[in-house]
Amino acid sequence: MQPTATVLVYSDDAGTREQVRLAAGRRPAADLPPVEYVECATLPAVLKALEERRIDVCVLDGETAPAGGMGVCRQLKDEVFDCPPVLLLMGRPQDAWLATWSRADAAVTHPLDPAVFADALTGLLRGRHAVDA
């Protein structure tokens, strides 16, 4: 197992990126390594991060503009070889169909419930680390 798990957080809102970091914390589960966050505010930054380093899970904000997290998710699933799992942040529960369209691996709604978010992130990290084991 690697010494840290790397989580990419994509949102044009610094407050949303902070909410993600605070909701999951440094170690969302005792059986997982500590989390290192890579924050991105633009699509080019996301693509560069995925190209240059190992990312275990992507957290994408569906409310980001101009490239929303749902469209970015679908693009990543189409274009990135061995795309990491994606946790999508949705504005409304009714947007679940869009999360399915985007091929997100999991989705949670704003405002973030720390327990729900941490559970979703932990599930994706566990799945990623089980593949590596």
| The residue count for the chain | 133
- The pLDDT, as a whole number, for residue 133 is 46
**Contacting residues for 133 by C-beta, under 8 A, at least 6 apart:** 1
Dump pLDDT digits (tens) for 81-110. 999 999 999 999 998 999 999 999 999 999
Say if residue 2's pLDDT is above 90: no
Q: Are strands 5-10 and 35-40 parallel, antiparallel or unpaired?
A: parallel
Structure tokens at 2: 């690697």
What b/e string do you get for 100-129 counting C-beta neighbours within 10 Å, with b at 16 or more?
eebebbbbbbeebeeeebbbbbbbbbeebb
Note the pTM of the prediction, 2 decimals.
0.93
- The pLDDT, as a whole number, for residue 129 is 61
Q: How far is it, in rounded angstroms, from Cα 63 to Cα 19? A: 14
- The pLDDT, as a whole number, for residue 21 is 96
